[in-house]
Chains A and B, each alone.
Chain A
Amino acid sequence: DGGITQSPKYLFRKEGQNVTLSCEQNLNHDAMYWYRQDPGQGLRLIYYSQIVNDFQKGDIAEGYSVSREKKESFPLTVTSAQKNPTAFYLCASSRRTGENYNEQFFGPGTRLTVL
């Protein structure tokens, strides 16, 4: 049963702590993405990775870090430098061939709340 999994579903963090959000896919997709969604706003790109061991900053990368050591996995760390981290985080993946590159499949999301 192919898909994208994210964990945890809900995460609470105290100010000043780093947290890592997990994203795993078994779709054999090369490209993976992290988005942030705030109420009343669309999705904003944090980081993306087109192949293993390579990733690029998106539009709002400050205060976040990622790694891509395996094709299936693209964890996102929200650091204490991120000033307003409370949000809904979505992970996505896509193929890298032709138009399929643009059709992204999404995981169920992680809702992060900073207390």
Chain B
Amino acid sequence: EDKVVQSPLSLVVHEGDTVTLNCSYEVTNFRSLLWYKQEKKAPTFLFMLTSSGIEKKSGRLSSILDKKELFSILNITATQTGDSAVYLCAVAGGTSYGKLTFGQGTILTVHP
């Protein structure tokens, strides 16, 4: 059975801090790993990673994948209160294209 585990489950920081969110996975026939941000309702897409060692970056957010050790990290530097959200990691794999397996999510709270 495919499995995606995120850690920590929740995190409280102050504005300006740097945070690292973790995602480990066990998936047959791995195709890609995705990060989403969920504030109140619809998750919004952040990154899709398919190759090891290549960092994806968007502003203060960056992510990298290690396919040998089966994990990914999402870094957020200089956090702001607007970064408060649930961050979801999902992995595409298995025999059915399009099927994603999600982790439990990390709840990030950024205090002013």
A94 at the interface (CB under 8 A from B): yes
B68 within 8 Å of A (CB atoms): no
A66 at the interface (CB under 8 A from B): no
Number of B interface residues at 8 Å Cβ cutoff, please give it.
Answer: 27
Q: Which residues of B contact A40 (CB under 8 A)?
A: 9, 104
Q: Are B102 and A101 in contact (CB under 8 A)?
A: no
| Pair A103/B45 contact, Cβ less than 8 Å | yes
Chain A CB within 8 A of B73 CB:
no
CB pair B102 A42 closer than 8 Å: yes
Given A33-B98, A42-B4, A42-B102, does the pair A102, B34 have CB atoms closer than 8 Å?
Answer: yes
Is A70's beta carbon under 8 Å from chain B?
A: no
* Residue total for A at the interface (Cβ-Cβ under 8 A): 27
A78 within 8 A of B: no
Say whether, besides A102-B100, A104-B100, A43 and B88 are in contact (CB < 8 Å). yes
Interface bits B83-112 vs A (CB < 8 Å: 1, else 0): 000001010100011111111110000000
Q: How far is the CB of A32 from chain B (nearest CB, A)?
A: 9
Q: Which 9 A-B pairs have the closest CB atoms?
A: A42-B102, A102-B92, A106-B42, A43-B102, A108-B41, A42-B104, A109-B41, A31-B98, A102-B32
Mark B residues whose CB is within 8 Å of A.
Answer: 4, 6, 9, 31-32, 34, 36, 41-45, 48, 50, 88, 90, 92, 96-105
Q: What is the interface of chain A, defined by CB distance below 8 A to chain B? A: 4, 31, 33, 35, 40-45, 48, 50, 56, 58, 90, 94, 96, 99, 101-109
